[in-house]
Amino acid sequence: MGRLTAQRRERPWREHRGTLSCERGRDMQLGMIGLGKMGGNMKLRLEKAGHQVVGYDRNPDVADVGSLADLVGALDAPRAVWVMVPAGEATRSTVAELAGLLSEGDIVVDGGNSRFTDDAVNAEALAQHGIGYIDAGVSGGVWGLTEGYALMVGGAAADVERLKPIFDALKPEGEFGFVHAGGVGAGHYAKMVHNGIEYAMMQAYAEGYELLEASEYVDNVPEIFKSWREGTVIRSWLLDLMDRALSADPDLAKVKGYVEDSGEGRWTVDEGIRLRVPLPAITESLFARFTSRQEDSPAMKAVAALRNQFGGHAVKSE
């Protein structure tokens, strides 16, 4: 079995025949691959709830074991392994490696932001070895450790039910925060739509902020956003975070107006086109992010030139 850190050895587990088992039998055991901002905090939240989590990361300073093979060897069968690495090739290669290491009856959860079309491919590759597959859309960001993670999962009902104690520990307290959205791919599809909506909501707050900043009638923009946090129909966690950002930097002077996109906004728009579902707000919010990356928009140059041609409107020179 791979090297265990001092922190790892201090946990209330006992080593037995090459595996790690918990002294409290009712708790579950999970392998976590990827211990970054999300995976590392998810591991901590699960451990706080009493579950055993064996973590692997390419950074040996945070890993409990030195390889995927060591991680598999440290778990009792039937195993459950949660993959929390970047979407795309990193996830695909990790799943492919696990297919050769795990055994029939084990389950792999992909908790990254994978495109939903990847899920069927991953599930089929694992099914050839009798290994189950769950795709889990995870929302919560850096606040998930304390507030919980919203989980949207797809996969076979029996696999989802088996891992329910893990999902229950990760989700927020209360009635909401978890859904078995459907079969394989449904979890990541739901998360994709969730992020598309998030794009549009953030854009609406941002446009309102810019209009307030431009108005000669308004004196205190940060306090306006703060006042909206209670009693209004636009209150939300995003609004709370906007208030937090403005409290720290009222003029947002330390922030450059450049916004990346994770890919899920694009996939949402692609699905709107495929299914002929109009998504004007989500689509425009995605395009607004593209505009943020242009120091001098070529399209706006063309509009200025056209206005000059047909109306003689003034054009600003470089």
Query: Which of these is catalytic: 97, 147, 198, 223?
Result: 198
DSSP string across the chain: -----HHHHTSSEEEETTEEEESSTTS-EEEEE--SHHHHHHHHHHHHTT-EEEEE-SSTTT-SSSSHHHHHHTSPSSPEEEE-S-TTHHHHHHHHHHHHHS-TT-EEEE-S---HHHHHHHHHHHHTTT-EEEEEEEE-GGGHHHH--EEEEES-HHHHHHTHHHHHHHSPSSS-SEEEEESTTHHHHHHHHHHHHHHHHHHHHHHHHHHHHH-SS-S-HHHHHHHTTSSSTT--HHHHHHHHHHHH-TT-TT--S-----SHHHHHHHHHHHHT---HHHHHHHHHHHHHT-SS-HHHHHHHHHHHHHH-------
* Residue 191: active-site member: yes
Spacing of C-alpha 226 from chain mean position: 26
Query: Which of these is catalytic: 43, 47, 171, 191?
Result: 191
Active site residues: 191, 198
